[in-house]
Chains A and B, each alone.
Chain A
Amino acid sequence: MLKLLRKALQVGEATVAYPFKPVEVAPGFRGKPVYDFSRCIACGACATACPPNAITMDCDVERGVKSWNINYGRCIFCGRCDEVCPTGAIVLSAEFELAAASKEDLYCRAELKLCKCISCGAYFAPCRELEYVLASLKQAGLPESGHEGWEQILKLCPKCRRRKAGSAAGTFGRAGKVLGGRR
C-alpha cells in the first residue's frame, strides 16, 4: 500500500487541467482555419481543393460580387485550403474551441468586388485577382513602358479581348480568316 502511494506520488497527476488551464496542442496541430480578408484574392483555389465543400465560392454577376463562405461545421481540418492558398489568406491555427450554440456562428462569409470590363461593362473577374496578376507580372520583369497597355488588357473580359485581338489582326489583313473561323 505504502509502496503504491509512493509510486503514485512519484508519477504525479496524469490528468490535464484543461478547462482551468489551457491545454498544450501538438506542433502542427490542425485547428480552425483562420481567414484573412485583406489577403484574399478570390481565386477560388481553396474552394476547389476543399474535400467536404466546407469552403464554397459563388459568383453573382448581377450584383458584381464574388462571395466566399466557410462552414466550420463541415470543415474536416485537413489543411488543403492552407496548402493551396497562393497568398496565405487562409491559415490553420491551433484553435480548437469551436463549439457554438447557433449554426450562424459557424459561418465566415466574405464578399469581394468583381471588376467591370471597360469595353462591354459586364462583371468578369475579381478586382483583387487582376491587381495581383499585374503585381506579379511587374515583379517578373514587365518593362516599365508596358504597364499602361497591360492594365488596359487586364480590364477587358476574355470575350472582348478576343474580339479586340481579332480586329487587331484584321488590320494586318487577316480579319476575314478570323471572323470566318468564328462564324
Chain B
Amino acid sequence: MGQEVRLADLKAKLKNVIKRSVYVYRVDCGGCNGCEIEIFGAITPVYDAERFGIKVVASPRHADLLLFTGAMTRAMRLPAIRAYQAAPDPKIVVAYGACGCSGGIFHDCYSVWGGADSIFPVDVYIPGCPPTPAATLYGLAVALDLLQQKIKGEQFAETEVTRVVPQYEGVGPELAKEIEQEARRLSGYLHGRRLAAQYLQFVREGDLLAVDRKIKEVIKEEKDPRLAEVFLSLHKIYLEKMERVGRNAG
C-alpha cells in the first residue's frame, strides 16, 4: 500500500516535470498497425503533437510514457514486458486502441491474453479502432492531466415499465418496413434511414395526393439526381401499396 502511494506521488511529480517534453515509446504487442498509422498521423504537421513536446522516441530507455497498442498476444508478451522493464520508473502506461484496452475484436482468439491491462497497471485507456489523431491527442492530454476526462460509466435500471412506441407512428409497419428497406438498399443504412424518415414524414402528414404533390416538389428542387431517384423509387412502392389496398377495399 505504502509503495503504491509513493508511486502515485512519483507519477504526479513526473507529470509536473515533463510538462513540455514528453517522450513516448510505442509498444506493439500484436496489433494490425492501424493504431501505429494513427499515432504517426498525430505527429504529422496537421495535428502536430510535437507542439506540446510529445515526441515519439525509438528506445524505451528514453521514454516517460509507454503506449501499448494491439492485443496482448502470447508471442509478444515477453518483449512487451521487457520494454516495460526497460523504461525508467516512474512511467505512465497508456492502453491504446480497442485491442490495447480489452483485446478488441481479437479478445477471444486463442493466443490473445486481453488488453495491456492484463499484464501492466494501465493509467489511461484510449478506445477507438483506431483512435483518430484528435482522440490520440486528447488521450495523451488526459494521461498528462492537462484535460479532464469526459466519459463516465453509466448505469440504468428499469423501475416501472415504459412504453416504447414504434419509430414511425401513424404509418403501417408493413409500409414503413418496405420503404425503409428500399431506402437502405439504395443508399446504405445511414442515409437510407434519413431518406426513409423524410419520406414517411410526408406519408404521415397527408393523403395520397398530398404526398404525390410533395414528392414532385422535392424531386424538382433536388439538385442531386441520385437522391431524386431514391425518392422516386420510394414513391413507387407507396403507390403500388396504395393501389393494392384500394383494390382489396374495392
Contacts and interface: CB of A to CB of B under 8 A. Distances in A.
Interface of A: 14-16, 18-19, 23, 28, 32, 35, 37-41, 51-53, 65, 71-79, 82-83, 86-88, 95-101, 103-113, 127-128, 131-132, 135-136, 139-141
Contact of A98 (B128, B137, B190): B128
Nearest to B105: A52
Tell me the interface secondary structure of chain B in the complex.
loop
B98 A15 contact: no
Contact of A74 (B102, B134, B149, B189): B102
A111 B134 CA distance: 33
Nearest to B192: A83
B56 to A, nearest CB: 17
B4 interface: no
B222 interface: no
Given A100-B125, A106-B127, A15 B46 contact: yes
A109 B190 CA distance: 25
A15 B51 contact: yes
A110 to B, nearest CB: 4
B90 interface: no
Given A71-B102, A75-B127, A99 B152 contact: no
Contacts, number: 173
B45 A99 contact: no
B47 interface: yes
A109 B115 contact: no
A154 to B, nearest CB: 13
A126 to B, nearest CB: 9
Contacts of B147: 19
Contacts of B155: 108-110
A37 B156 contact: yes
6 contacts: A15-B48, A71-B102, A72-B151, A73-B115, A106-B101, A128-B161
